[in-house]
Each structure stands twice: as C-alpha cells, then as structure tokens.
Chains A and B, each alone.
Chain A
Amino acid sequence: MLAATDIFTASFTWLIDDWGKLDTWIVITGALAAMACAIPGSFLVLRRQSMMGDALTHTVLPGIVAAFLLSHYLKTTGWISTDPADPHKAFDATSYTFMFGGALLTGVLTAILTEWVSRRGGVENSAALGVVYTSMFAVGLLTIRLAADSVHIDPDCVLYGNLESVWGGSDQVPRAAWVSGGCLVFNIAMAGCFFKELRISTFDPALATTLGINATLIDYALMGVTAATAVAAFESVGNILVIAMLIVPAATAHLLTDRLWVMLLLAAIIAASTAAIGHVMALSLPPVLMAPFAEQPLLSGVPIDSLDASTSGMMAAAAGGLFVAALFLAPRHGVLVRIGHRFRLSIRISAEDLLGTLYRQDETSRDIPLQTGRRTFAQRYATWRLRRQRLILHSSGQLELTAAGRHAARKLIRAHRLWESYMARHFDVPADHLHETAHKVEHYLDPELRDQLAHELDTPDTDPHGREIPDD
C-alpha cells in the first residue's frame, strides 16, 4: 500500500510541481471517505430521503458528544483502560468505538423520532425531520458548550473537518484513512450482503413486508449505517462535505445508468474522482483566480503563488461540477441528448416535407412555391443531405426528385392521404381542415401503421380530396 502511494505521488508530481506525500494522503483519505458515503447515499437518493442525509450529519452530534463524554468518564474513573503511551490523549481507539456506537444509535433514534413526530403530530415527513434534527443538533451544541471545560472538542473541526492535517509526516498510514477505509469496506460488505433486501425495500416496501422482509427494520439499519458513515467521514472531510458526498455522487450516478449495481459502482467512482479533482483544484485554482488582482492594495504582500483553498470545499465544488456535466451529457436523460434528438427529428421532418412538396409539384405539374422567406438551418441542412443522398437533383435552378427520391416521397404521401381518409371517416372534420393534422402525423406513421390504416379503410385508392393514394 505504501509503495502504491509512492507511485501515486510520482504521477501527480508530474501534474503539479510541489505535489508531496501529504497531498497523496489527502486525496486517498478524501476518496475513501467520499466512497464510503456514496454507498448509503445512493439508497437515500433512491428513497427520496436526501434530506435525511443532511439531518443525520447534524443529529449525530449529541450522540458522539455523549458517547465521548461517557468514554472519558469511564476512563477517568478507571473502568476502562487508557492508552498506556499517552494517558491524557483525548481520542484513542476506545473513544472512537464509543463514538461510532453513539452515532449509530442516534441515527436510528432520528429515524424513529421523525416517524413518531410525523405520525403523532400529523405533519408531513420533512417537517417532522426539520423539528427533530434542529432540536437534536441544538442539544449537541449545548452539550459541547457545557463539557468544554473538562474535555477539548472543537466544534469547527466537526463542521469543516481537517483534511489538510491528515498526515503527520511519519511513514505510517494515517488514522483517518484507516477509519474511512474500514467504513468503506463495511459499507461495501453491507450493500453486497443485503443487496436484494435493500433493493426491494427501497423500491417496494409494501411487497418487501408481505414477503417477510421487514422494510422498517432495513430503513432503521440504513439510517444507523448512514450516521456511522457520517461520523467516520467527519474528521477528515467535515460535516458539510459529508452531506455533499452522501447525495451528489449518488444523484450524478442515477443520471448515468438504469441499473442499481452500476449506480452504486459509478457513485463510488465519481466520489473518488471528486477527491482527486477537488484537491488539484484546491492547489491550482486560487493562484490562477487571484492573479488578476495581484496589484490590488488589499492583496499587497500576499504570496499569490502559494495560495490554496480548502480541499473539502473544492471536493464539494468538484462533485457539483460533475453533476452538472452529467446533467448535460447523460446518455438517456441528458440535456444534450435530448437537444440532439429534437434536432435530428426536425431535420427528418424538413427533409420529408421537401420530398412531399416536390412530389405534389410533379403530380399537378405546376410549380408550388417551395418556401417563402428565410429557410431555417434545419431546412437548408435537409436539402443538402437529400442532394448528397441523391434523392433530389438541382437542375436549371429547380429542385427535382430522382427515382429514389420519388420512391421515398410516395411513402410519405401515402401516410398523409391515408390519415386524411381515416380522419374523414371517423371524425366530423371539414375537408379543408384535414391537411393540417395529416401534415403533422404523416412523419410518425411507420409501414406497419400505414398498412393497418389501409386495411381498416378497405385499401382506398383516393383520399377525401379525390387525389390518388400511392402504393408503398
């Protein structure tokens, strides 16, 4: 593992000049914490309980403070042994175990209390959540304040984390990496073992219950695990980033896939990348952003080149950036895909309309004005493409259908006139109103539907206007 970090460090040194071992450990710890969050976060997003992630990161505060105080009390009274090397150290393995236990319990308690307030108080779930989580957070802050004299807990550290001081400089794996990594392994094992149960109780809790899978129990377990994960990630990335890491990678992954296990995998990958991207941004962005203001009197004497930003904050920003990218680029739900789809459709409609107009022109052997006024880009592109496909020709200043073009146009005209006949048969529409609807519908009638229409109308030869309906 330590050898691997050296390779990691070397490859990033190539990217950023003063990348050191500390930077490598910051990225690794951040990535582990973020991946650990992404797994329960995916289920929160799918359950539409994203706010629960926000709430849990706050409600665990009284839990961990109470657990910490309890372990502190037990240590001072000698019930449990202290670290022999440093008996006055506030945080050791024992107090961590207590804090995880406390977080787990408060997580479950939050879920139960919210359910209870919602049912008893007759308010909706998110309102109940608001009541519970603010109250519990307040209790937590109050406890810290009261206990501040006897123990040292820094509220700032809880809120913002301290990723930058994760590595002490020794050749050992930092403790925060162990904690986050352990939590990640636990969450992966959890999701692996209970994949079916988590899936069914998230998708259809009623069915889960009738199958004998206790959906309520799984709900509480998930809340407990989310709370414990939040605590594991607290120290390194801080409370605020935990919220981002629970929800944003999962929401991004949801945009990208339609399979649950792929979503979990993608969420973890996205979470890990935000750590790397976030730290690189934290190191490289501030000098770039601040350079134009170097001459300002306010910044005189500030060493612009060595400015950096909080990695946690930049990780959240990177996650947000990836989400926006997914919003645009996602294969099915993405904005770009939809725009592309609409554009292709408008090209096809323009091309078909042109073919139809030329066909009618041939039929009546008189010139129908092709298009008055400016042609849209789609129309110009459609004309160009039809010429390239040799469906139309440009001869002596006029557009003409080729044999292949005529064949293609027949299908469209057939669809148009069959639809007019169908409308005239079944609806009381005046003859001069038929064209408009047929003009829209003609583009969507495939051969199967055309045959079905013809069959239902006893294969008519002419449309309501007396014009010939061509064969396919």
Chain B
Amino acid sequence: MTDGPQTATPPPDEHARHPSSAPLAIHDMTVAYHRRPVLWDIDYDAPPGKLTAIVGPNGSGKTTLIKAAVDLVPRASGDVRFFGSAYHKVRHRVGYVPQRGSVDWDFPVNALDVVAMGLYKQIGWFRPVTRRYRDQAMHYLERVGMADYAARQISQLSGGQQQRVFLARALSQQADVYLMDEPFVGVDAATERAIVVILQELREAGKSALVVHHDLQTVPEYFDHVLLLNMRMVATGPISDVFTPENLRATYGGKLALLDQVGHRMTLNQGRS
C-alpha cells in the first residue's frame, strides 16, 4: 500500500500466486474515480463453490469492486481473472446482478422480457426471442416464484418482485459465478427467503456467488465466506475465522482518514501535471 498504484499489467509469474480454479481472482487492483482512488491494492481470491458476502460501510467501494471486476469501471492498475482467464473471454460464465435502482422501471417491457434479456447472448445477433427462449425465461421466473407476474409491466411489481425478476434474469445466464449488488436491499421477507433459497441452490450446484450485503446480522446465517472492505481489503476468509468484532471494528470504525487524504493529494497533483 505504501508504494501506491502499480503498473497496469503484472508480469505473468505474479499470477501464479492466484489459483486458476478461483472463480474470481483480483491481483493488486486499484480503482479511481476522477483520478481519486476509491479502492486500493485489492488482492483477492474468491473461494470456489461458496457464498461470499462483501461487507463494508457506505462508500467503502463494494459496488466499485464488482463493477471494476466486470470492466464496467476502468481499473487504474491491477488485473482481474475469472477461472484463470480474462473477463472478456469468459463472459458467459459470469453473471452480474446490478442494483435495482440502476434501471428505468417505466420502460415498456414485462417481467418475461426482462428475464429473456439474460438469454440474449445465447440467442445471438439478429435473431428474435423465439418461443423456445420465452419458455426458458418462463422456467426461471417459476424458479423465483414469479410465474404469475410474467406479463406484468415491470413498474407494476413491488420492490421485492423486481429484485426477483433481476435474479431470474441472472439465473437464465447459467453462469458459474454470480456477482450481485445488494440484492437484499428494500425487499420483503418472502423475497429475502426466496433469494436465500436460490443462493443455496446455486451453491449445491457447485456455483459461487459474491454478494454485496448490508445486514451484518444475517451474514453468518446466509454466507460461508466474507470479504470485509473499506477502500482496502480489511480481511477475508470463512465466517468463523474472519467475522470477528475486531475485524468489524477495523472495517467500520474510522473511515481510514489517511487513505482519503492521500487520495486527495494525488487528485490535486495529477490535476496539475
């Protein structure tokens, strides 16, 4: 951390430290918004076949971590691998579930249309969404208990129902690792249970999930592993080892004012150069 951002591409041997079985391996990643770093030197291997919670205070870079991993936000430095390969080569194995607030719910589509979007890559360019794919999408809506709402325009759904539609869309991608951004925020109890069941089914099928999560109380109940984040990685590992009062205090207590200051300096200096 003392030596600041590193070169954009690490030498190949550096990656030997990251197992290629890891669904997500992040090597020395730093991410900056407007030249101001918001994530510092993240070096992380996600455990395969586990449910991992990404936990940290507001502004700690949880969403940024996920977005930078799937190339939605540029990385200032560092490198990300999914199953040992660059993201653009294994897109089909990675399912991304954005925050519910990220889309316009007044858009003229129904629940089934949204779920079918997860199949667009599979359908391919130029081809229409045929009956076969609509049936597939319907199957995933059934899995999240939303089959009765297939023809509803999406703004006519409750927050929990909207989240389940997003989840069904992610399932339809049939990915091996899922990155979910706050799926539990603003949902009803029934949806929360439905999401937990789906997550467990994914784990049983040998898939992995990294879930940005806010409710500390339910972390040990829902997840196997945890990644504690506050602009840098505070701790990572199985819940029983890592989810301790000391680590949580290190994550939440004090917003690491020093890092913030250094970031600010860097913004100023680079702005001048």
Residue A455 at the B interface, CB < 8 A?
Answer: no
Complex CA gap A211/B70 in Å reads 10
Chain B residue nearest to A254 in the complex (CB): B108
Complex CA gap A196/B129 in Å reads 8
Of the candidates A122, A196, A259, A260, the one whose C-beta lies within 8 Å of that of B120 is: A196
Complex CA gap A406/B151 in Å reads 39
Complex CA gap A430/B173 in Å reads 55
Contact between A257 and B108, CB atoms less than 8 A apart: yes
Q: Which of B91-99, B184-192, B218-226, B247-255 touches A?
A: B91-99
Residue of A206, A209, A259 with most chain B CB atoms under a 10 A cut-off: A206
Contact between A260 and B109, CB atoms less than 8 A apart: yes
Complex CA gap A195/B127 in Å reads 9
Q: A202-B107, A259-B109 are in contact. Are A195 and B91 (CB under 8 A)?
A: no
B interface residue count range (under 10 / 10 to 19 / 20 to 34 / 35 or more): 20 to 34
Complex CA gap A210/B88 in Å reads 9
Complex CA gap A193/B127 in Å reads 7
Cβ of A267 to closest chain B Cβ, rounded Å: 11
Cβ of B72 to closest chain A Cβ, rounded Å: 6
Complex CA gap A212/B94 in Å reads 11
Contact between B123 and A196, CB atoms less than 8 A apart: yes
Of the candidates B70, B91, B120, the one whose C-beta lies within 8 Å of that of A200 is: B120
Cβ of A215 to closest chain B Cβ, rounded Å: 10
Mark each residue of chain A from 345 to 367: 1 if its CB lies under 8 Å from any CB of chain B, else 0: 00000000000000000000000
| Residues of A close to B117: CB separation below 8 A | 199-200, 203-204, 207
Residue B103 at the A interface, CB < 8 A?
Answer: yes
Contact between B107 and A203, CB atoms less than 8 A apart: yes
| Residues of B close to A263: CB separation below 8 A | 108
| Residues of B close to A210: CB separation below 8 A | 70-72, 91, 94, 96
| Residues of A close to B70: CB separation below 8 A | 210
A interface residue count range (under 10 / 10 to 19 / 20 to 34 / 35 or more): 20 to 34
| Residues of B close to A206: CB separation below 8 A | 67, 72, 96, 98, 102
Residue A46 at the B interface, CB < 8 A?
Answer: yes
Mark each residue of chain A from 186 to 219: 1 if its CB lies under 8 Å from any CB of chain B, else 0: 0000000111110110111011111111000000
Residue B14 at the A interface, CB < 8 A?
Answer: no
Cβ of B10 to closest chain A Cβ, rounded Å: 24
Residue A48 at the B interface, CB < 8 A?
Answer: yes
| Residues of A close to B113: CB separation below 8 A | 199, 260
Of the candidates B88, B107, B126, the one whose C-beta lies within 8 Å of that of A46 is: B107
Complex CA gap A302/B26 in Å reads 80
Complex CA gap A200/B96 in Å reads 14
Residue A258 at the B interface, CB < 8 A?
Answer: yes
Q: A213-B120, A258-B153 are in contact. Are A193 and B126 (CB under 8 A)?
A: yes
Cβ of B55 to closest chain A Cβ, rounded Å: 22
Chain B residue nearest to A192 in the complex (CB): B128
Contact between B110 and A258, CB atoms less than 8 A apart: yes
| Residues of A close to B91: CB separation below 8 A | 210-212
Contact between B128 and A196, CB atoms less than 8 A apart: yes
| Residues of B close to A209: CB separation below 8 A | 71-72
| Residues of B close to A193: CB separation below 8 A | 126
| Residues of B close to A204: CB separation below 8 A | 98, 102-103, 117
| The 9 nearest A-B residue pairs measured at CB | A258-B153, A211-B121, A210-B96, A260-B108, A203-B107, A204-B103, A200-B117, A212-B91, A210-B70
Q: List 21 A-B contacts (CB under 8 A).
A: A48-B104, A122-B34, A194-B125, A200-B117, A202-B107, A203-B103, A203-B117, A204-B98, A204-B117, A206-B98, A206-B102, A207-B96, A207-B98, A209-B72, A210-B72, A210-B91, A212-B88, A257-B108, A260-B108, A260-B113, A263-B108
